[in-house]
A and B are shown apart, each in its own frame.
Chain A
């Protein structure tokens, strides 16, 4: 899987014989089905497609925010993507470092988390991305068993995008969840309200700067030595004092 790459299918790597041991990399077979999908999409949406990738038997397409609903419509009508799978969001700020002990310091400058102290940047994923927030969704064609992942970048200060509810009725609950968890606003959704959390809940939990309180209250200890079983002697405690006088 290659990461951020705005382009079409991966180009064959140039031949670089290294000591004759490595064989010349073959061009990966062109995924014709998905290439055809991409071509139809390009024909309909044209410039709105900001990035695409076909890899590993799957296709990702990143569209312009304004064309989000159109992309869905095209997918449903022209590509036969009748089945709505899911719609969710992505926050590209980095996660906390898993292997280190960290204590939440609300005053500290947000850093990259890699120990270098660099301020927060983010890399985005497949098919690229320009902003912190992305909305992504998956559609599926049950007759041909081909699916597509659509992505769109959202503005960091005011993440809003059109609602898919006019195209796929099932997007209703998924958009409510995305609103609740990320704070995305979906224009045209009749009833954006909480779905999992109580009505009075403040904050958007799946954003990376919303702390997982359990971890902050008690940082993840990483690899610890086994705790002694309650009742057994704590052998690791004070060493024998006999003969050690001072």
Chain B
């Protein structure tokens, strides 16, 4: 029996609430990012206003688009492998959904505080690669499969720097649990001053930068969006998808961005911790702080996306294998030395 808000709940009820909560967060996160960054930020960067008609300043545009996708015709290419084709978006969505399970937004607000939270997050984010390959293959379109293969190559290449960057954090925090990492940051001290704890962005700056770049690539955002921008020449793995299935991919993309930004906020920027606030207040204010930090990280992600041109596939791979991975290995080495010596 776990007490939540002074009510004793059975395991089944608790699980149901958690599932509903996480399922609700996914589209909310996606919608927030879509509205603020895809509609408004990019528009203002490009000297235009973006959607203004639907709702005040276009706030209803994103939900309306959601409805629009829901009412579209469900198309299958004739030669597509129907089962795989239909399952692919769900696999990608599944991976995104599972990412939100371990993100803590308060001392007690976490769907499941796994001891191997970080490990789980990385493993689960790799499932999306399978979904993308399924989408590319099942479309029965030679361009889709090439796009899918490229995406897979890119995503696998950039998994490594991401993992290695996080390893540095894990070494420093001493735990793989995300809640534990937040506490490690909360209880840490910067040169003896414990005022704001010790957000790992200071000690793990290199790791933060590497994680950031790797996340940008994992999300196939420019400058790493060759699989998607392949749609200039050929169609990417997403071509044959329309309606709800496309919506799932699209929402998964933005929700993943939200999730990665949330993970970055948690392990590098200190998570939900507010200095001096504990207990139920932290439970209430934690989500606010998390959303603020996630939006800040997302701001930078999308800012970079809308500014830079894109890498060519081989340049992208070279960048990962020849630069990011050695740097992240160096990061781990230095962190390990510091952890042992000091």
A/B contact in complex, CB under 8 angstroms: no
Chain A residues in the interface with B (C-beta under 8 A): none
